[in-house]
Structure 1
Amino acid sequence: MFKRYLVIAFRNLQRQRLFTFINIAGLAVSMTVCLVVLLSVRESFSYDNFHPLASRIWRITTHAQTPDGRKYHVASVPMPMGTALKSNYAAVENEATVYGALSGEGKINDKKINIRGAFATPSFFDVFGFKLAAGNPRMALTTPNSIVLSAETAKRFFGTNDPMGKVIQMDRFGSFIVSGVLQPNPSRSHLDFEAFAAMSSVPALEQSKVLPDQLNNWDIVKSSYTYVVLRKGESVSALTSALTDLGHRYDGFTQKGWGTMAFEAQAFSKISPSWDLFDDIGNTPSWGKVLTEMGVAFGLILCACFNYTNLSIVRALQRAKEVGVRKVNGAHRWQIFMQFITESVLMCLLSLVMAVLLLLTMQASHFSGLPVPDINLLTPAILGWFLLFSVIIGLIAGAIPAWALSAFQPAKVLKNMIDIKLFGGIGLRKTLIVIQFSLSITAIIFLVTVYRQFHYKSVKDMGFARRDILNVPLEGVDYQRMKERMLQLKEVESATASSGTLGMPRHSSFCNLRTGDSKNTIEFGYYAGDMDFLNVMHLKLLAGTTFPAAASREKEQYLVVNEKALSIMGVKSPADAIGKTLFLSDSLPLSIVGVVKDFNYQPIEVNIRPMAIRFIPGEFHQLQLTMNNGDKTAQLADVKKIWLELHPGETFNAEWMDEQLLSRDGREVVSMLGFLVFITTMIAALGLLGIVAYTSFTRKKEISIRKVLGATAPGLLILLSKNYVRLILIAGCIALPLGYIGSTFFLQIFAYRVSIGILPMLGSFFLLLMLALITILSQTWRAIDVNPADNLRND
């Protein structure tokens, strides 16, 4: 019997090729998005699931409030936290501290590779259970200046050679001996550093001022992460009590006007997906991303199922006589029901095949509009879940039309199928049409706002030069030497050395400075730059000068600050700031030699804050060349030739500054949203198409009678279309406020943003209204463009 159902189903699908294609394509596209989301969500929950003690590990986080009332939940804690917990509280069995300050250039012979590393205590392997492919886990992080490399980093440095005992020269941090190589992790970990060095290396680095005095300092909360293992049988309440006790050391902060600070335990399993903590580590997805993805997938598949139902009902009117004949020949209702459910499930299975093919195509072509997870996640188990998922979708989508069709009375459908009414009315489907179009209009308004904001971001004058500037990495060569060589090129107008690119996130560093008459420190963002930095970047000096030519390369002496720093310091005018002294790390005096006009040294998501330009040659990572307006390819070739003379055998990687900044203009976000909005809108249009086709079919007799009585084509078009236009207008009234609210929430991310504007909102609405009118008129015109005699002949 089931075989017969399949044969009939295939014949019907083949006979109705257009209907089959529309339904399968609509479901397939929606299911593709759902598959991407399912893979992405699985990937989001795959972090840190291989640690043997994961159920007993807790990370300590910090709740801080500034004197002006700003609240921060920070992933880092003071560095002495781990030792204090293990030494003084019996509930804590073990602890591990990770200090994410070991980042820079690693060098072996002539090979130089950037390493993103951290310092870790010897208990690191006991707490987390990471395995070593080489080395002794009990000794690997014990000796000062020992380092453990990830398998990938070891391969980048040494290839197939044995790395054990080899020496790596780390920029600023000195020499480290390789004491171990990590095995590749079974799954992702938020502790995704490329190297871990012994924590016992930190005291010497602090003494030489390479690192700030943080090891025993309870007042600095930066880049230090503490994890504790609770003893078996101990509850988190014991740890909470210990953290409350340790938090009492900050009770006097409020009276001194320093804000407040307290500590909280975070379950290891709750680190990913993350809650967007400040100063967090690991590229873990956020809960906002996961929930948004799930919401989008659910909405799309719900719309697709509804449209499948609508179109199936429309097609059912053409198969009503088939049902009547089969019932007259003795078919039971459950058999008719099973036939249509089989067709529905078969169509969903075909949609699943197409969806998987689309997913593979997107992965193979590196489709940039949608973030496609690693296709290797398509394991047999996952494919099994997808198969079950498609069967469930088929059952849900096909149940209503199958139930309706199987209920047809043979006498009625064989006599006159025009009089068939399904479900006693179409109020529910009209409501769903309103919901679908409300979501579509809201999504279009949101997309327009996102596009306008990212376009504004790409063209906004951030207060510094960005065109015709080539960023060339120094890669260990003295900046002055390379600068002199590059300035010999006729295409190079000027050059400066810097620590990073203005406007790029995470290119700015931070330091704490205090004035001589205050104990409170001010957090400054800073870039390192040489004497020509202000000139090349076109930063406007309000007072003073740039760094003097005689500035020491060994000992820092001078600062250039922005206007915002003056307001925080309480200085009235730029001229008054010249010559004032700020203290770095409470001991190093730095004199202000210049004040520049405020500019967006960070992306426009962030307000302008106090910042400084410092002369620290040890932090120069790149040369920024102002090029003449000419052939960029030829200019790049000339720069590359000199660079390779200074770096024989190495790979040249230079980047134009404007292109580097444009890489963050949100094009991928806009493409992804545009793709999803297109699918949502097309699904809504298909749903409207189904309901218009259904009602036009059931009103054929009425239309014929009206034409016989003299009704004109325009009058009939208005008669048949006005109710649907009313639905779209209702959807617009619902969607415009929702779109405004959603756009407002999105724009709150940016400190500098566009206004929403009534014209973009109305334009979005009229765009969808035109699409709806085209859909409506395509069906209503077909309904009235008939000969009345053909419809009334048999009545």
Structure 2
Amino acid sequence: MFYSYLVIAFRNLWKHRLFSFINVVGLASGMMVCLLALIDIKGAFDYGNFHPHSDRTYRVLTDVTSSDNQMVAFASTPMPLADVLKREYGFVEQTTQVIRDYAELTVDGKKLVDTYCAVDPAFFTVLGYKLASGQPAIAPRTAVLTPQTAEKFFGLSNPIGKVIHHQELGAITVTGVFQPLPTRSHLEFGLVVSMSTRSTENQKREQTDWKQYKAGYTYVRLKEGASVEALEKALPTITARNTKGIQWKTEKSYTFRPQSLATLSPAFEELQMSTWEPTWGKLATEMAVGLITLLLAVFNYVNLTLARSLSRAREVGIRKVSGAVRWQLMSQFMAESVILSVFALGVAYLLLRLIEPMPFVQQWLIGGVELNPTLWAVFVGFSIVTGLLAGFVPAHVLSGFRPAQVLRSQTGLKVFKGITLRKSLIVAQFTIALIAMIALLSVARQQNYMATADYGFRSEGILNIPLNTVPYQRLANELNRIPGVERVSATSELFGSHGGEYRKVRRQKTGGDSTAVFITAVDQHFIANMDLTLLAGQNSPEMTTDTAGEGSPGRFVLVNEEAVKAFRMGNPREMVGQTLWLNDSTEVQIAGVVKNFQFTTFSWAIKPLILSYQPKQFRYVNVRIADGAPEATLAKVQGVWKHLNPHQPFTGEWYRDFLYKRHSHEDDVNFMGLLTALAFSIACLGLLGMVTYTTETRVKEVGIRKVMGAEVRQIIWLLSWDFVKLLLIAGGIALPLGYLAGMAFLINFAYHVSIGFETLGGCIGLLLGLGGLTIGFRTYRAALSNPADSLRNE
């Protein structure tokens, strides 16, 4: 019996090849997105598999209660906790600490930024990170590099024994190289340094400060046979004993709790100071997107199968008269659905291999996950379940036809006051696709706005060159001699990005409120070079005369208008001449006030800014190149760089290109565009199948109307109008929902585009255009048919 089901199923699918093709391609498109989500879900459970004894190793979390009784969970803890657990509790086998930070490192004259972790000796055994060569970083000022960082810093040469320089940590010697790190790990870093390398007074104080619960991460491995309940009982005692007498500002108290490494990923809660483990929310969102896309394809299957219900109804009637029972008929129809779904799985895998190289897919979804037999079994099971679910509704409806009704062709399917099920499904498909398009277009327009907008400073014709170890003044002197170079300036931070150093600044040395301010080091030519406007005062005296001496920090600074408001100074003129304390020992005087400009991303409103003369912090030169022959001037600039620094490649970049790359996020938009295109393709394929079937069933009507004198355009309108109405209904539903979806994204930005006619009108126009072409293609062919052919048998 099962064999006969398969044979009949193949015959039916081959007989209706167009409908089968539409269903296979549609199901494959939706299934591909689901496969991506399943791969990422599988990868989420792989996090931490390499850690030894993960079942009895725990990360300690800190639950902080604020003064208004709000509780916030942190993945970090105070640094003294690990030592107390190891020293005072016998059920603890080992503890280790990790501090995560970013650092600008100098290697052979090159300045490179990377993520590092400061770790203690137990890190390598507790968390199980293996070395490919060398020794662990235990002694002060030693480091172990990942293979990628070793190649980035030292090329193909052996890095062991070589030195990396850090402004605060000093000269660090490389003692080892890790084995290739697992792609799926909750800790990500380019190198680790020994904990003893952090030796400044603040860093030493951090090791004993119970108030600093954001300091780092604490891991505890229990002895074999010890229960986690013992650790849970010990943590409140430690908290009570060591936090007594702490004077809090915004917090009331905190408590600790353990989190097993075996259950660390996927995370059930959003943690502050979190690491890289994915959350259940992220995975659920991915799976929801995949299921929605697959649901569109399932709609197609249901729609097209019900559309062919009249021809299949006679088959049902004959088989029932011959003695077939309902479950046998349902099995037949569902067998066809499962076969289609299995074919779709093969096509989905091919589509998956096509998009696999996309950066977004590699970085966020399937990087480091292998397709093992277990995962393939899940894929096959998923496709079979999809086929069964997709085929259930048509099988249930078709198998329920009564032979007597079939012979009278009374097989109409009506739901909800006469609206057909098929039409409802078409509206749902195009509604979902249009909402996705509006949201995507809003994202793309916002990113293009941030990439091309006027930030309030000059970006056209400005070439940014990282200084690395080249002396700024020497490079500036050489560049100023080049014809076509109008001006050269220096800065510690490229505006339009992160904003630079962020610290608390006070008006008085002691006491008084502090204000968070961005601080950027610039030279005397920066204001004119970047077309910034001074509203009051003048350029800093040190910037114009260098009275502080080259390389010495200046005593005068410039501030922006927002700083005037933040320090409640009244107006820009009143701000000039006032003093500020950058720290306990550095007092500066305000020489001038600069008109506000956007020096950070558009995610934030304009923040207070201080521009100071600190030559030692200069990291970039800004070369203003005259209009006319920028390429020729650029070639001469490259020649100067090669002369001064022959061992390093020229990495200069036009400011406009930097802003575009920083904010465009083309990889993300391309992937979201792919999902939207899939949704529209599935919807259009379903519409094509419905129009095709409708025109085929009305071919005799078309022939009669043509014989009676109807024109081609009248017949096209007659066949199309019912489907055009469905597109208009979908547009009416999707426009307000799409607007809300777009605004949910844009509200995260202080400055953003609006969702107006250019967005909504463009999307509805594309909807009608694609739908119109799909409808018009088939109806036009039907309208041109020869009436003699369609009426020959009448």
Which of the five TM-score ranges fits, normalised by the shorter chain?
A: 0.7 to 0.9
Query: 1:618 and 1:193, CA in 2 relative to 1: closer, same or farther beyond 3 A?
Result: farther
| Partner in structure 2 of residue 744 of structure 1 | 743
Instruction: Please tell me the residue identity of whatever aligns with 1:58.
Output: R
Query: 1:601 and 1:366, CA in 2 relative to 1: closer, same or farther beyond 3 A?
Result: closer
Instruction: Please tell me the residue identity of whatever aligns with 1:478.
Output: P
Output the CA distance in 2 between the equivalents of 1:537 and 1:319: 74
Is residue 551 from structure 1 mapped to residue 552 from structure 2 by the alignment?
A: no
SS at match of 1:27: helix
- Is the 2:522–2:611 contact (alpha carbons within 8 Å) kept by the matching residues of 1? yes
Is residue 496 from structure 1 mapped to residue 489 from structure 2 by the alignment?
A: yes
Query: 1:397 and 1:558, CA in 2 relative to 1: closer, same or farther beyond 3 A?
Result: same
Q: Summarize deviations over 1:482-520 as a string: whole Å, max 9, x none.
A: 222222222322222222311123x62322322325354
- Is the 1:172–1:618 contact (alpha carbons within 8 Å) kept by the matching residues of 2? no
- Is the 2:516–2:608 contact (alpha carbons within 8 Å) kept by the matching residues of 1? yes
- Structure 2: stretches of 5+ with no match in the other structure: none
| Partner in structure 2 of residue 674 of structure 1 | 673
Output the CA distance in 1 between the equivalents of 2:719 and 2:46: 53
Alignment counterpart, residue 307 of structure 1, candidates 294, 300, 306: 300
SS at match of 1:118: strand
Shift of the alpha carbon at 1:686?
3.8
- Is the 1:64–1:74 contact (alpha carbons within 8 Å) kept by the matching residues of 2? no
Output the CA distance in 2 between the equivalents of 1:529 and 1:66: 40
Shift of the alpha carbon at 1:751?
0.8
User: Equivalent residues in 2 for 1:476-555 (5 A)?
Assistant: 476-505=469-498, 508-516=500-508, 517-542=510-535, 543-546=537-540, 547-548=542-543, 549-552=546-549, 553-555=551-553
- Is the 1:49–1:187 contact (alpha carbons within 8 Å) kept by the matching residues of 2? no
SS at match of 1:538: coil
Instruction: Please tell me the residue identity of whatever aligns with 1:509.
Output: E
Normalising by structure 1, what TM-score? Answer: 0.83
Q: CA RMSD in A?
A: 4.4
Query: 1:159 and 1:642, CA in 2 relative to 1: closer, same or farther beyond 3 A?
Result: closer
Alignment counterpart, residue 598 of structure 1, candidates 591, 596, 602: 596
User: Equivalent residues in 2 for 1:718-729 (5 A)?
Assistant: 727-729=726-728
Is residue 350 from structure 1 mapped to residue 348 from structure 2 by the alignment?
A: no
- Structure 1: stretches of 5+ with no match in the other structure: none
Output the CA distance in 1 between the equivalents of 2:582 and 2:91: 39
- Is the 2:211–2:243 contact (alpha carbons within 8 Å) kept by the matching residues of 1? no
Output the CA distance in 2 between the equivalents of 1:775 and 1:655: 46
- Is the 2:110–2:469 contact (alpha carbons within 8 Å) kept by the matching residues of 1? no
Alignment counterpart, residue 145 of structure 1, candidates 141, 146, 163: 141
| Partner in structure 1 of residue 58 of structure 2 | 57
| Partner in structure 2 of residue 684 of structure 1 | 683
| Partner in structure 1 of residue 29 of structure 2 | 29
Is residue 578 from structure 1 mapped to residue 576 from structure 2 by the alignment?
A: yes
Shift of the alpha carbon at 1:752?
0.8
Instruction: Please tell me the residue identity of whatever aligns with 1:185.
Output: L
Query: 1:85 and 1:365, CA in 2 relative to 1: closer, same or farther beyond 3 A?
Result: closer
Output the CA distance in 2 between the equivalents of 1:386 and 1:335: 27
| Partner in structure 2 of residue 241 of structure 1 | 236
SS at match of 1:377: coil
- Is the 2:553–2:613 contact (alpha carbons within 8 Å) kept by the matching residues of 1? no
Query: 1:592 and 1:83, CA in 2 relative to 1: closer, same or farther beyond 3 A?
Result: farther
Q: Summarize deviations over 1:251-283 as a string: whole Å, max 9, x none.
A: 7545xxx5767466573544665966565555x
| Partner in structure 1 of residue 384 of structure 2 | 391
Shift of the alpha carbon at 1:300?
0.7
- Is the 1:212–1:585 contact (alpha carbons within 8 Å) kept by the matching residues of 2? no
Shift of the alpha carbon at 1:196?
1.3
Shift of the alpha carbon at 1:694?
6.0
- Is the 1:250–1:261 contact (alpha carbons within 8 Å) kept by the matching residues of 2? no
Shift of the alpha carbon at 1:349?
2.4
User: Equivalent residues in 2 for 1:227-306 (5 A)?
Assistant: 227-228=219-220, 232-235=226-229, 237-238=232-233, 241=236, 245=240, 252-253=247-248, 262=254, 265=257, 267=259, 268=261, 269-270=263-264, 280-282=274-276, 285=278, 289-306=282-299
Shift of the alpha carbon at 1:659?
1.0
SS at match of 2:664: coil
| Partner in structure 1 of residue 656 of structure 2 | 658
Instruction: Please tell me the residue identity of whatever aligns with 1:120.
Output: V
Output the CA distance in 2 between the equivalents of 1:19 and 1:233: 60
Shift of the alpha carbon at 1:605?
0.7
Output the CA distance in 1 between the equivalents of 2:711 and 2:245: 83
Alignment counterpart, residue 196 of structure 1, candidates 192, 201, 224: 192
Output the CA distance in 2 between the equivalents of 1:515 and 1:53: 53
Shift of the alpha carbon at 1:753?
1.6
Instruction: Please tell me the residue identity of whatever aligns with 2:592.
Output: G
Query: 1:336 and 1:84, CA in 2 relative to 1: closer, same or farther beyond 3 A?
Result: same
Instruction: Please tell me the residue identity of whatever aligns with 2:594.
Output: V
Query: 1:510 and 1:219, CA in 2 relative to 1: closer, same or farther beyond 3 A?
Result: farther
Q: Summarize deviations over 1:612-663 as a string: whole Å, max 9, x none.
A: 2333333332222112224444343322222222222333322221111111
- Is the 2:60–2:76 contact (alpha carbons within 8 Å) kept by the matching residues of 1? no
Shift of the alpha carbon at 1:750?
0.3
Which stretch of structure 1 is more off in the superposition, 211-220 or 489-498? 211-220
| Partner in structure 2 of residue 123 of structure 1 | 122
Alignment counterpart, residue 433 of structure 2, candidates 433, 436, 440: 440
Output the CA distance in 2 between the equivalents of 1:476 and 1:706: 84
Query: 1:695 and 1:102, CA in 2 relative to 1: closer, same or farther beyond 3 A?
Result: closer
- Is the 1:369–1:668 contact (alpha carbons within 8 Å) kept by the matching residues of 2? no
Query: 1:780 and 1:24, CA in 2 relative to 1: closer, same or farther beyond 3 A?
Result: same
SS at match of 1:309: helix
SS at match of 2:23: helix
Output the CA distance in 2 between the equivalents of 1:286 and 1:122: 30
Output the CA distance in 1 between the equivalents of 2:629 and 2:574: 45
Query: 1:790 and 1:195, CA in 2 relative to 1: closer, same or farther beyond 3 A?
Result: closer
Instruction: Please tell me the residue identity of whatever aligns with 2:593.
Output: V
| Partner in structure 2 of residue 379 of structure 1 | 372
Instruction: Please tell me the residue identity of whatever aligns with 1:153.
Output: T
- Sequence identity (%): 38
Query: 1:441 and 1:366, CA in 2 relative to 1: closer, same or farther beyond 3 A?
Result: closer
- Is the 1:62–1:77 contact (alpha carbons within 8 Å) kept by the matching residues of 2? no
Shift of the alpha carbon at 1:161?
5.9
Shift of the alpha carbon at 1:567?
2.1
Alignment counterpart, residue 177 of structure 1, candidates 169, 173, 177: 173
Output the CA distance in 1 between the equivalents of 2:92 and 2:430: 56
- Is the 1:561–1:595 contact (alpha carbons within 8 Å) kept by the matching residues of 2? yes
Query: 1:562 and 1:432, CA in 2 relative to 1: closer, same or farther beyond 3 A?
Result: same
Output the CA distance in 1 between the equivalents of 2:258 and 2:588: 40
Instruction: Please tell me the residue identity of whatever aligns with 2:228.
Output: E
Alignment counterpart, residue 463 of structure 1, candidates 430, 434, 456: 456
Instruction: Please tell me the residue identity of whatever aligns with 1:60.
Output: L
Q: Summarize deviations over 1:293-321 as a string: whole Å, max 9, x none.
A: 22110101011012112223334544555
- Is the 2:183–2:368 contact (alpha carbons within 8 Å) kept by the matching residues of 1? no
Output the CA distance in 2 between the equivalents of 1:351 and 1:151: 40
SS at match of 2:228: coil
Query: 1:586 and 1:725, CA in 2 relative to 1: closer, same or farther beyond 3 A?
Result: same
SS at match of 1:752: coil
Shift of the alpha carbon at 1:343?
3.3
Count of residue correspondences: 779
Output the CA distance in 1 between the equivalents of 2:273 and 2:487: 36
Shift of the alpha carbon at 1:65?
6.5
- Is the 2:360–2:668 contact (alpha carbons within 8 Å) kept by the matching residues of 1? no
| Partner in structure 2 of residue 642 of structure 1 | 640
| Partner in structure 1 of residue 46 of structure 2 | 46
Which stretch of structure 1 is more off in the superposition, 772-781 or 670-679? 772-781
